[in-house]
Amino acid sequence: MTEGKGVSLDVDSSVNGPLVAEVVTQQLEAMLAAGNYDGVKTLLEPVQPVDIADAIGNLPLILQALAFRLLSKNEAIEVYEYLEPAVQQSLLDRLRSGEVLELVERMSPDDRVRLFDELPAKVVRRLLAELSPEERRVTAQMLGYEVETAGRLMTNEFIDLKEFHTAVDALNIVRRQAPYTETIYSLYVTDRERHLTGILSLRDLVTADPQTKIGDVMTREVVNVRTDTDQEEVARAIQRYDFLALPVVDREKRLVGIVTVDDVIDVIEQEATRDIYAAGAVQAGDEDDYFQSNLFAVARRRVVWLIVLVFANGLTTKVIANSDEVLRQVVLLAAFIPLLIGTGGNVGAQSSTVVIRGLSTQRIQTLGLLKAVLRESIAGALLGLLMLLFVVPFAWWQGEGPLIAAAVGISLVAITTLAATAGASLPLLFHRMGLDPALMSAPFITTATDVAGVWIYLSTASWLLANIAK
Amino acid sequence: MTEGKGVSLDVDSSVNGPLVAEVVTQQLEAMLAAGNYDGVKTLLEPVQPVDIADAIGNLPLILQALAFRLLSKNEAIEVYEYLEPAVQQSLLDRLRSGEVLELVERMSPDDRVRLFDELPAKVVRRLLAELSPEERRVTAQMLGYEVETAGRLMTNEFIDLKEFHTAVDALNIVRRQAPYTETIYSLYVTDRERHLTGILSLRDLVTADPQTKIGDVMTREVVNVRTDTDQEEVARAIQRYDFLALPVVDREKRLVGIVTVDDVIDVIEQEATRDIYAAGAVQAGDEDDYFQSNLFAVARRRVVWLIVLVFANGLTTKVIANSDEVLRQVVLLAAFIPLLIGTGGNVGAQSSTVVIRGLSTQRIQTLGLLKAVLRESIAGALLGLLMLLFVVPFAWWQGEGPLIAAAVGISLVAITTLAATAGASLPLLFHRMGLDPALMSAPFITTATDVAGVWIYLSTASWLLANIAK
């Protein structure tokens, strides 16, 4: 069989989720409008839940509830968990209260808590009151943990075994509980007080002799996290150890939940987006929100940093205004200010980018912080010297003589060295002080070096003018 | 049981991998120096392979091979796969050739290919020649795929079943093959020509009636990728669908391998680092290399972009030099150049950051590209107007009168609008042209708006001076 035209969904498009969702939306809308409900069922049967969720989210509001009702019960839960929070809410308003209750009751606790975070407090109280006692207890408990901690990411739907179970008994427990658990591939062993005493994988269980006791095949050294462990730390641990899931214990070291790898991938992406936004001086926040929020919300998330930076730039203005004497004498000096501060800014941005990313992926720690700063400073000086080769001849020609060329050359090396040192050390200093190093990202380094760079440049020119040129 | 002092490895430190590795290194070095080899075995028994790998990597060169030899055979393979490439190589030089061969023979094909990528061609040829025929065939085939494609990430160690197998037969196959496969949780069904016809999870298999045929419980609609699919696309698919593994097919749609979620997490982090580095004008490359490479390598990865940017900044110099007449008349105008171009740069950096990240996480596509640019342009104008409130009074005071205040105010709004438009549209244009949008990241947008911003500002001032001030 070779590839050819006429295949409805080829291999390449099948991995392009957003595209699949778009195609499905169009067909779905046409079928719903025509009242072809059997057609909808056939259409959606082979589609992945996340693509169905995107397609429903793209539908006009009035069709969303209609499409959602055509899903089978089990599929509806899965699709609902993938919907955007705004669509989840509008569906809650449009479904009958019995339907809503069943949906919320059957969601995974972690997804339910994420939904409740978005709903008005009044609605949450009502829904909580109507949940079954067990689900209510779990949900209330999870809502009590701080956001972005393991307690919020975890699910309590895991399989726990006892050390005295035989492998064959355990496999039967797994079979029975499989429909109600998030994963059956990581299994947990607890004692009578629910303390975690070991873990084993389904692989261990399947390959074990049927009569072996669980206590003899489990691993007793368990990497675990606490309910208050930061989500980024949880993500790093799962990534580092290639785990499919990680157990979460409470202060008394009792097993209360597990975090699975799929939740953690989203955390890693979310944290990367945060680093990238910080590097671009955009206020941190949920990325989904960003592309959906209105213009004023977009402006609000940027204007604060911009105004802070404008005030900092005002200092540069002051420095130049105070040196207007030297500019009045050699007006061409002004032409090189953007080049010098631009280059300083770029070198500083490079250093801070590398250091902030290194802190966040924990790789810079192996190098040692002081050594990292020293390395960046030397690199800054080296880069300044390399650029002299291009900049000094240009300044000589454009600045009509050696005075400007000398001032530009001397200050270039000073500025790049300073920018690299500041770019590396300020994020590290923030890190040491327990603040977020990303606050000291490129735009701030750039603005800080602007002030110093202009001062160095104009002072150098002024000194040269007074002592050499005369 | 409550927490207390005296516990050797508390819960929090157990998730801090780099710290664990550091503590283990110290004890390991002392024990090796004292010849206490039994102590080493006891020490390492409860430690995770990745932490052992870090600890061995931190040891002095002469102790690395010694420590490595004390590991059990199975553990040695796992630890070796986690070692840094440089340590892997130096170990190859220090182990006996029989030990090397066994190690390389037993590695997973994907890890082996990654190692071979780092070794000198001569060594690779020799090792390839000494591999068993089956491993040699797989390795040579994978080395033939382009780097950063599914073909390089995948492993051929998966379980494939036939549709006519019963669940109980299939479970026995899984049991037998478990020790030799990367995952037993995703199972693949192929026909006689090895075409992929379906998938099922071990969960499906364990919960199925023992006499059911695989053909009746498997899922026939399979999301898959081709050997030449880009690794980022593979990562996005696994992330989107919450898969534990994804099948890879060749051009004839025969199943040739699978990519597992643990490999994909590293790809997501690697791609994020690349985006972040591009945003800071640092040349893309392997992050591990960065913190280990020497100063000249560090400088080399930055100097190219810096020189490009210096040439672009030279244009700003030309623009200012050409307007020296107006600067000679009102020298204080120069004092506001850094503020204006700095603000333009910051607004442009925000827009390009948001757009590049949106492209890379595929979220901007739902908004529509043209709409995204329009939104950014309006946001830019809005931000410019907001900043007028602070900037114009400052310019009036510092610039000693209305002329400079007017020139600064008018050009500020023009510059922020232009910067936001360029910041949003240039990355999108690059994306459309099939180039990497990250090339149009903050430093380039900043430098481009510098030239235009200075020209707008000085032209405005010049026009005001000629037409109004007189």
- Kindly report, residue by residue over A152-203, the tens digit of the pLDDT: 989 888 999 999 999 999 999 998 888 888 888 999 999 999 999 999 999 8
> Which amino acid, one-letter code, is at B299?
A
Q: Strands B245-249, B255-260: parallel, antiparallel or unpaired by DSSP?
A: antiparallel
DSSP structure string for B243-263 = -SEEEEE-TT-BEEEEEEHHH
| Interchain contact, A387 vs B363, CB within 8 Å | no
A13 pLDDT exceeds 60? no
Q: Do B249 and A11 touch (CB under 8 A)?
A: yes
Which residues in chain B are contacts of A284 at CB distance < 8 A?
none
How far away is chain A from the Cα of B317, in angstroms, using its nearest Cα?
5
Q: Give the N- to C-terminal CA distance of chain A in Å, as an integer.
A: 86
DSSP 8-state assignment for residue A289: H
- Asked whether the beta carbons of residue B279 and residue A353 sit closer than 8 angstroms, the reply is yes
C-beta atoms of B338 and A335 within 8 A: no
- Which ranges of B7-155 does DSSP label H, i.e. alpha helix? 11-15, 17-33, 37-44, 49-58, 61-69, 73-82, 85-94, 97-106, 109-118, 121-130, 133-143, 150-153
Q: What is the pLDDT of residues A211-244, one digit of tens each?
A: 999 999 998 888 899 999 999 889 888 888 888 8
Give the integer Cα–Cα distance in Å for B224 and B219. Answer: 13
Cα separation, B427 vs B440, in Å, equals: 5
CA proximity to B77, closest of B100, B58, B55: B100
> For position A350, what pLDDT does the model report?
83
Structure tokens at A135: 């689900």
Mutant choice from A256, A316, A331 vs B, greatest count of B C-beta within 10 A: A331
* Contact: B261, A266; criterion CB under 8 Å: no
The whole-angstrom separation of Cα B81 and Cα A191 is: 35
d(CA B438, CA A318): 35
Taken in order of first residue, the domains within chain A and their CATH numbers are 12-145 (1.25.60.10), 160-275 (3.10.580.10), 287-467 (1.10.357.20)
Measured in degrees and rounded to the nearest 5, phi and psi for residue B248 equal: -115, 130
Q: Please tell me whether residue B294 adopts helix, strand or coil conformation.
A: coil
Question: Which letter, b or e, does each residue of A215-233 get, where b requires 16 or more Cβ atoms within 10 Å of its Cβ?
Answer: eebbeeebbbbbbebebbb
pLDDT given at position B290: 59
B50 → closest Cβ in A178, A240, A307? A240
Question: How does DSSP assign A23-52, residue by residue?
Answer: HHHHHHHHHHHTT-HHHHHHHHTTS-HHHH
Contacts of B20 in chain A (CB under 8 A): none
pLDDT tens track for A81-96: 888 888 888 888 888 8
Name the residue facing A223 among B14, B241, B379 (closest C-beta): B14
- A80 three-class SS: helix
For residue B309, give Cα distances in angstroms to A339, A390, A424, B276, B445.
Answer: 9, 12, 21, 18, 10
User: Which of A311, A322, A450, A347 is CA-nearest to residue B338?
Assistant: A450
DSSP-derived secondary structure letter, B366 = G
Closest CA to B351 of A427, A438, A295: A295
Transcribe B370-402 into DSSP letters: HHHHHHHHHHHHHHHHHHHHHHHHHHHHHTTSH
Task: Report residue A456's pLDDT band, with 50, 70 and 90 as the boundaries.
Answer: very high
Q: Tokens for B282, please give them.
A: 């640092």
Chain A residues whose CB is inside 8 A of the B209 CB are none
pLDDT at A242: 83
* Residue B455, both tokens: 């020209």
Q: What is the DSSP track for A301-325?
A: HHHHHHHHHHHHHHHHHHHHHHTHH
CA B93 to chain centre: 30
pLDDT in tens, B373-408: 898 899 899 999 999 998 999 988 887 788 889 999
A9 has pLDDT over 50: no
How far is CA A466 from its chain centroid? 54
Residue-wise pLDDT for B9-61, tens only, equals: 333 444 566 677 788 888 888 998 888 888 888 888 888 888 899 889 888 88
**Tens of pLDDT, residue by residue, chain B (470 residues):** 222 222 233 334 445 666 777 888 888 889 988 888 888 888 888 888 888 998 898 888 888 888 998 898 888 888 998 888 888 888 888 888 888 888 888 888 888 888 888 888 888 888 889 899 989 998 988 888 988 899 998 988 899 999 999 999 999 999 888 888 888 899 999 999 999 999 999 988 988 998 999 999 998 888 899 999 999 889 888 888 888 899 999 988 899 999 998 888 888 888 877 777 776 666 655 545 556 666 777 777 778 778 888 888 888 888 888 888 888 888 888 889 988 988 888 888 888 888 887 887 777 766 678 888 898 899 899 999 999 998 999 988 887 788 889 999 999 999 999 999 998 898 888 888 877 776 666 777 888 888 889 999 999 999 998 887 65
**Chain A: closest CA distance from residue B328 (Å):** 6
Which of these, B353, B361, B349, lies nearest to B276 by C-alpha position?
A: B353
CB-based contact A331 B335, cutoff 8 Å: no
Q: Quick one: pLDDT at residue A366? A: 64
A vs B: CB pairs below 8 A = 409
Task: Select the residue from B78, B269, B315, B441 to test the A interface by mutation, using most A Cβ atoms within 10 A.
Answer: B269
From the list A226, A281, A367, the residue facing B291 with the nearest CB is A367
Residues in B closer than 8 angstroms to A12, CB to CB, are: 226, 229
Q: Which residues of B touch A291 (CB under 8 A)?
A: 358, 363-364, 366-367, 372
Rg (CA), chain A: 30
Torsion, CA B329, CA B332, CA B333, CA B334, rounded to 10: 110
Closest CA to A84 of A117, A115, A109: A115
Indicate yes or no: CB of B309 within 8 angstroms of CB of A391: no
What does the pLDDT average to over A389-406?
Answer: 88
The Cα-based distances of B425 to A77, A298, B375, B428 in angstroms read 39, 17, 11, 5
pLDDT at A4: 29
B468 token code pair? 């109004």
Residues of B with Cβ-Cβ distance to A347 under 8 angstroms: 302, 306
Which residue in chain A has the smallest CA separation from B281? Answer: A350
Closest CA to B21 of B50, B42, B46, B45: B50
Look-up: residue for tokens 């989210």?
A57
Strands B245-249 and B225-226: parallel
The whole-angstrom separation of Cα B235 and Cα B259 is 9
| Residue in A2, A291, A361 closest to B287 by CB | A361
Residue with tokens 């992050």: B287
Q: Which residues of chain B does A239 touch, with a Cβ-Cβ cutoff of 8 Å?
A: 265-266, 269
SS3 A393: helix
Contacts of B349 in chain A (CB under 8 A): 280-281, 442-443
Q: Is the dihedral of CA A325, A328, A330, A331 positive or negative?
A: positive
Shortest Cα–Cα distance, B101 to chain A (Å): 26
* A320-328: average pLDDT: 85
Interface confidence, given as ipTM, is 0.72
Nearest Cα residue to B28 out of A426, A206, B36, A297: B36
User: Crossing angle for the helix pair B261-279 and A337-360, nearest 10 degrees?
Assistant: 160
Instruction: Suggest the residue from A186, A302, A360 to mutate for an interface test with chain B (most B CBs closer than 10 A).
Output: A302
Q: Is A339–B313 a contact, with Cβ atoms under 8 angstroms apart?
A: yes
Sign of CA dihedral B396, B400, B402, B404: negative
Q: What share of chain A has pLDDT > 70, as a percent? A: 91
**Residue that is written with structure tokens 């209105």 in the block:** A294
Q: Give the up-direction half-sphere exposure of residue A253: CA atoms within 13 A in the CB hemisphere.
A: 18
CA distances from residue A205 to A200, A202, A210, B237 in whole angstroms, order as listed: 7, 5, 8, 30
**Chain B residues within an 8 Å CB radius of A221:** 46-47
Does residue A10 carry a pLDDT above 60? Answer: no
* Residues of chain A contacting residue B296, judged by C-beta atoms under 8 Å apart: 382
Name the token pair of A73: 């019960």
